[in-house]
Structure 1
Amino acid sequence: MLTYATSGFSEDILSDSFCQTWFGVGIVVGMVSIGTSNFLILLRLWVLWDRKTRLVLVTLSLFLVTQITAIVCTTYVVSSMMPLVVFEPYLHSCILTQKVNFVILWTPGIVFEFMIFVTTWWNALDQPLPQHAKMAKVMYRDGSIYFFVLFGLRLLNLILSIVSPLSLMFLGVFFIWSACNVTLTRLIINSRRAAVEAEESLFIDVYTYSPRSWPLLPRQGSCVSENYELQGKGPDIEICTRLSSSVTSVAT
């Protein structure tokens, strides 16, 4: 709809109210989409941090504060922008007739992502050998890509909103929206892949057979499947204990 309204390729004559509605909807849905992506990243990080209460509370509080601020700022920007959006018949496009203060639209997201990035790497340095090594590798690699891409694009949009002419105000908006979804999808797919690999590795460790076909004891700690962590659950120590006991009795 936004392409239809702003590309200039359509020969339809649109109303100003149509332009105002879809500009507002586009900004709101875009900010909600990015906020949802940030929360999904936060859920993955909580798993990686073994749900340490202090870290969870601090990052959750930061997320709530920045998102509430973003909602207030988005509401203000959309309400200020509405009267300034009109349809230009000569260009066959919806246009913004005057600059709006988009600086406040990008600032909360920049603050949140920077603080999460610092917290993640501070925790990584504090615990350089996390228990869930495969997931940690995925999160630190793809999470860093996610951070640098989104942080860079937010910064670009922030700079454009300050120094650019009116015609370039929306230059980076759709880049950050699409890049957010692409990088988040990459992270989730890779974390799922790490989960499958961890589950297969656990299966091989537990059901290893000797030449006499007697099951051997699993390696110490191998029963704590990383897949539990990737699915948002804690390691099932009771199941591990029963499994080790049953394998011991069979081997005996």
Structure 2
Amino acid sequence: MASTVFNSFAHFVIVMRVYRLWDRRKEIKWILIVAFTTAMSVAAAFAVLSLRQLDRTVTFTPALDMCTISTKPESLKFCLAALTAFDLFIIVMTIFNALDRPHRHQADVMTALQNDGARMFVCLFRAPNVLKIATVLLTYPSI
């Protein structure tokens, strides 16, 4: 659950950056708020469902003197899918912002994307997902 709260905060910071890129347009603000609220609600709901499914699979293993998890929760992939879909939505919004600006040459679009921090967005969005995947693989080595 703590990772869901952290992800929500990180995504909110990025939403605010995208909102600024769009020159604080009111319609974009509402699109971002609705998308953010929907994605984080879906992710939180599936995170809770994953925890409930996980609760049934935790058993104590005396040989290891620790608790182990026998199966991966089925709803975990939907939690990650909601976050990834929101990441892609934000990237698309950034691309549309670059295309929405007046430009003379096609190279101007690429320059606008670079100025908007496209590389930063891609790295920021992929880093949490890579950490999640690494955590899942370490937790469930049988995947």
Q: Same fold (TM over 0.5)?
A: yes
Give how far 1:45 is off: 1.5
Aligned residue for 1:124? 98
SS state of the match for residue 167, structure 1? coil
8 Å CA contact 2:58–2:67 kept in 1: the answer is yes
Out of 76, 80, 87, the position equivalent to 2:53 is 80
Q: CA deviation at 1:44?
A: 1.5
SS at match of 1:67: helix
Structure 2 gaps of 5+ residues are 104-110
Matched, 1:36 2:15: no
Q: What is aligned with 2:42? A: 69
Higher RCO (CA-CA < 8 Å; seq separation 6+): 2
SS at structure 2 position matched to 1:75:
helix
Does 2:78 match 1:104?
yes
Equivalent residue for 1:92? 65
- Aligned-residue Cα RMSD (Å) equals 2.8
Of 142, 147, 154, the residue aligned with 2:120 is 142
Residue 100 of structure 1 aligns to a residue whose secondary structure is coil
Overall identity of the aligned pairs, in %: 21
Change over 3 Å in CA distance of 1:90–1:128 after alignment to 2: farther
Partner of 1:231: none
SS at match of 2:37: helix
Q: What is the CA distance between 1:51 and its match in structure 2?
A: 0.8
Contact kept in structure 2, 1:63 and 1:112, CA below 8 Å: yes
Structure 1 runs of 4+ aligned residues shifted over 6 Å read none
Question: Contact 1:45/1:139 (CA < 8 Å) preserved in 2?
Answer: no
Larger Rg computed on CA atoms: 1
Work out whether residues 80 and 100 of structure 1, in 8 Å CA contact, stay in contact via their aligned partners in 2. Answer: yes
Q: Check conservation: 1:117, 1:147, Cα contact below 8 A.
A: no
TM-score by length of 1: 0.46
- Structure 1 counterpart of 2:42, one-letter code: T
Alpha-carbon offset, residue 168 of structure 1? 4.3
Task: Note the C-alpha offset of 1:85.
Answer: 1.1
The size of the alignment, in residue pairs, is 130
| Corresponding residue for residue 27 of structure 2 | 54
